Amino acid sequence: MGGSFNPPHLGHLKIAEFCIKQCDLFLFIPTYKSPFKLNQKIVSPSHRLNMLNLLIQKHEKIKVDSFEIEKEETSYTYKTVEYIKNKYNPSELVMIIGDDHLEALNKWKNIDYIYNNCKLICFNRNNIYTKKNLEIEFIKSFNFPISSSQIRNNIKQKNIRGIKNSLSSKLVDYILKNKLYEK
């Protein structure tokens, strides 16, 4: 599962916990810079890595891979797919996406490579999206309505109560200690 994770939240963790029951390893892969969020303010990669590591502390089969961050360039998913195939040699590669990515999928660089090398699973949709006869599986029974942008807005408005159900206490402490998302 890739993304900005700005910040990572309990919804991300619930997706990983849901998926790990059916796989050997679940990877969070934070972007260095998304081509779709070039103008968006994102906290530093080190903070996002630290927060992801705090989020997954108690999960042996859930890991954070810093491949995209270490490249220090705009992140393209097809390059990450190549990397994962080479490093982990999975028998099956499944990419998790949120329904907020569906509209832009046809704009992803080398999307056909991704379709041909990954099974895509999308959370929180009720219909099937098809491109060139390739289906995306939708998980309909999962509902955890949290968004990172909502969390950032609550922090800016100093609504700490509004984030406590979205973040672990360790993440709340980390964000407040480091004064993230206050401006």
How many angstroms separate the CA atoms of 54 and 140, rounded?
A: 28
In a domain, 156, yes or no: no
Residue 48 and residue 175 in contact, taking contact as beta carbons nearer than 8 Å: no
Q: Name the residue range of residue 8's domain.
A: 2-143
How many angstroms separate the CA atoms of 136 and 144, rounded?
A: 20
In a domain, 30, yes or no: yes
Number of domains in the chain: 1
In a domain, 169, yes or no: no
In a domain, 153, yes or no: no
112: pLDDT strictly greater than 90:
yes
Structure confidence by residue, pLDDT tens digits, 159-183: 888 898 899 999 999 999 999 998 8
Give the per-residue pLDDT at 142.
72
126: pLDDT strictly greater than 50:
no
- Segment 43-67 mean pLDDT: 96
Q: What CATH number corresponds to the domain at position 84?
A: 3.40.50.620
